Copies of this chain bind each other. A is one copy, B any other.
Amino acid sequence: MPIVNIQVTREGTTPDRDSVTAEEKAALIKGVSELLLKVLNKPLESTFVVIDEVDTDNWGWGGLPALEYRRKVAAQKAAAES
């Protein structure tokens, strides 16, 4: 009877995509359900998985909107390596 809620930012894994594809969602559902079967013996038919896609403006990290935080971290990294 597990319920797995997966929250991810609404982004694609390649530049030409702007969100998670149906195939990627199916892979997440399959992977999580099989993990719960393997680790906790939970039958697949008793596992719900819900994927919640969140706009990047609606996701905060480091006190900043997600994309702004990423730029900040990338700039810090570049400065440290220069």
Interface residues, chain A, CB within 8 Å of chain B? 1-9, 13, 20, 22, 24-42, 44-54, 57-66, 68
Contact = CB atoms under 8 A, between A and B. Distances in A.
A1 B48 contact: yes
B3 A50 contact: yes
As for how many copies of this chain the complex holds, the number is: 6
Contacts of A35: 28, 31-32, 35
Nearest to A49: B60
A66 B9 contact: no
Nearest to A51: B58
Contact of A32 (B29, B40, B60): B60
Nearest to A2: B8
25 contacts: A1-B8, A1-B66, A2-B6, A3-B5, A5-B7, A8-B36, A22-B65, A24-B39, A24-B40, A25-B58, A25-B60, A27-B39, A29-B65, A31-B31, A32-B35, A45-B61, A47-B62, A49-B60, A49-B61, A50-B54, A50-B59, A51-B54, A51-B59, A51-B60, A52-B58
